[in-house]
Structure 1
Amino acid sequence: MDVLSDAVAAMRTGHPHSRRNDKHAPWGMRFEASNGAGFHVVLRGSAWLIPAEGEPVALGPGDVAFLAHGRGHALASGLDVPLEEVRLDADGRWPEPEPPSRAEGPEPDTVMLCGAYTLDRSRAHPLLTELPEVVHLPARVGAHRSLRAAVELLGEELEESRPGSATIVTSLLDTLLLYILRAWWQDGHRSAKGRPTGWAAALADPAVGAALHAIHGNPAHPWTVEELGARGGLSRAAFARRFTALVGEPPLTYLTWWRMTTAGRLLRADETPLRLVAQRAGYTSEFAFAKAFKREFGVAPGQFRRRVS
């Protein structure tokens, strides 16, 4: 299994939403803090992204900005422009845009794609929690072609509603999120010497990366530290040291955390019998699973399911 895809799937809930924003200068929008994550792509013109913390970021045509932590931010045509509060509808959708006045003219100064994802931060994967306040991916010729293609397709679907657009837009938004994160870890999450850091280093390390893929590929398997280390050709002790240094916790601690995260996702998603949830989380005994789940979540599996349904 793909660790990045798993990390996103573990947190994603509900349906993502997006809208094209055509703006006539001067303009300013303030987004309140939320449980979700958001992105902005400048298709034409320019904008200033003003995060809750840190310096403003100048965005130009083709630039992508992703805000993973939902701390609130603003977008504006200039740093001295008054900001209008933007409130999403009750279901998380964007409010319908008001038609431009005649004084604004037919052509907007700035065209953007803005979107939002709903996340469950109670089981936030460290892959996402280590992201900075703003992930800024400047437009560069030849860089991140898949990301640019997804942006172009999304822009076309949002510009004109056609049969199947609702499903296509949802799929493109999920795809776009993964492309944004992949782009960041591929070329943005590096030390001053150009080496991967954090989880990028963990995934790039042959032994630790192999172990992570094994855990995510089959969390129900009764993995041992020795068996996981053998995947990368390391002794038990050497592997345990390297895994702990790069991931931030010992191998079996991470394995247990991921098993419980997987179980929580299954309980939240459907009516899979508890016996099968326990098996998929690596427990042969439903009683042992329920005990471990309550220790991790503070409630029994059945109560957890009723609470999130």
Structure 2
Amino acid sequence: MDVLSDAITSMRTGRPHAGRTEQHGSWGVRFPDSEGAGFHVVLQGTCWMLPSDGEPIALGPGDVVFMPHGRGHGLADSPHTPLAAFRGSLLGPFAEDAASPDTASPDTLLLCGAYFLDRARPHPLLGELPQALHIPARLGRHPELRSAVELLGGELERARPGTSAVLTSLLDMLLLYVLRAWYEEQSGHMSTGWAAALHDRAVSEALRAIHRDPAHPWTVETLGQAAGLSRAAFARRFTALAGQPPLAYLTWWRMTVAARLLRESELPLRAVAARTGYASEFAFAKAFKREYGVAPGGYRRHGQESAGALAATSLAQR
């Protein structure tokens, strides 16, 4: 199993959204804090990304910037340009070109959008990301990401039959390619954390084993065997890189899987318990309530109500 894909799947809700924006002359936009994770791609021209804290980031053609925590930020032609409040929502429906009345060719052409993320239980892999991930365009680097950007730009330039479905798939691809590119860039510079964990052979093998079969009766020793290390060496290495002991992560992931099954399926509790490594429904319910503060049945009812509210909101936006 792919740990990065699982981490995204465990947090994603709803449909991602995106649109193209043309900018002419001097311009500046302030984006407020958002429940979503936003992104901007420079298709043409240059601009500056202005984090709520930190130094301005110069963006050129092909550059991608991703805000995983939904923090407010600005975009402008210059770090010194006053910022006007953004009108609209990056979490709204797919947008048409937000074109200026100016008929001249735009100075800057942007692809902007956002993903819905459930922040109630963020995967630690995403939790450690900085406020802004800047992936600069470099010749020969991350060709898959560049291809996804080109395809997205083309689909948003002219709507055709099937565009809505294609955009959803391309935006899912873009998110994974952005995170993959970031972790590849960071792997050589970080000795601890998830960038190092994903590129460490032993720890990544243990993580894949947990994600592949969370119901297996894993112990530190058997996970160490999967990683090719002794029990003690594996426990030290996993804890140092992942930031928590292996069995703590195993329990966390089992409960995350259980929550998703409760939200998205009608499986009886005994089946959910079996799929997440618990021999009895009682043991599972006790562990789940300890983790979430609510019994599995109550969590399922709340999740169905929330899903209904999200669906109603999505329909109202269309």
Tell me the TM-score normalized by structure 2. Answer: 0.91
Mapped partners of 1:210, 1:97: distance in 2: 45
Give the conservation status (yes or no) of the 8 Å contact 1:88–1:95. Answer: no
- What SS class does the counterpart of residue 275 from structure 1 fall into? helix
CA distances 1:267-304 after superposition (whole Å, capped 9, x unpaired)? 22233322222221111211111111110001111111
C-alpha distance in 2, partners of 1:205/1:99? 46
Any conservation in 1 of the 2:19–2:95 contact (CA below 8 Å)? no
Q: Which runs of 5+ in 2 are unaligned?
A: 305-318
Find out whether 1:254 has 2:249 as its counterpart: yes
Matches within 5 A, 1:71-86: 71-86=71-86
Q: Deviations over 1:37-60 (max 9, x none)?
A: 111110101111011110110101
SS in 2 for 1:267: helix
Counterparts of 2:8 and 2:91, CA distance in 1 = 21
Q: Is the 8 A contact 1:87 1:95 kept in 2?
A: no
Match in the other structure for 1:267? 262
| Uncovered stretches (5+) of structure 1, i.e. residues with no partner | none
Q: SS of 1:166's equivalent?
A: helix
Separation in structure 2 between the aligned mates of residue 252 and residue 19 of structure 1, nearest angstrom: 43
| TM-fit CA distance, 1:189 | 4.6
Say which SS state the counterpart of residue 215 (structure 2) adopts: coil
2:299 paired with 1:301: no
Q: Distance in 1 between matches of 2:47 and 2:89?
A: 24
8 Å contact from structure 1 (residues 45, 110) kept in 2:
yes
Give the letter aligned to residue 121 of structure 2. Answer: R
1:141 alignment counterpart: 139
Distance (whole Å) between structure 2 residues aligned to residue 174 and residue 14 of structure 1: 12
SS in 2 for 1:121: coil
2:43–2:61 Cα contact (<8 Å) kept: yes
Paired position in structure 1 for 2:274: 279
CA distance in 1, matches of 2:50, 2:283: 49
Partner of 2:16: 16
Give the TM-score, by structure 1 length.
0.94
- State the secondary structure of the residue aligned to 1:229: helix
More deviation, 273-282/49-58: 273-282
Asked if 1:231 is matched to 2:213, the reply is no
Other-structure match for 1:184: 182
Cα distance between partner residues in 2 of 1:38 and 1:257: 26
**SS of aligned partner of 1:282:** coil
Q: Percent identity?
A: 62
The answer as to 2:108 corresponding to 1:110 is yes
Write the distance in 2 (CA, Å) between the matches of 1:106 and 1:273: 61
* Matches of 1:274 and 1:106, distance apart in 2: 61
Structure 1 CA distance, aligned partners of 2:130 and 2:253? 23
Aligned with 1:38: secondary structure? Answer: strand
Change beyond 3 A, Cα 1:4–1:167: same
Match of 1:150 in 2: 148
Establish whether residue 221 from structure 1 lines up as the match of residue 219 from structure 2: no
Distance 2:28 2:267 in 1: 47
Instruction: Give yes or no for the alignment of 1:124 onto 2:119.
Output: no
Q: 292-301 or 79-88, which moves further after superposition?
A: 79-88
| Count of aligned positions | 304
In structure 2, relative to structure 1, the CA distance for the partners of 1:65 and 1:91 (3 Å cut) is: closer
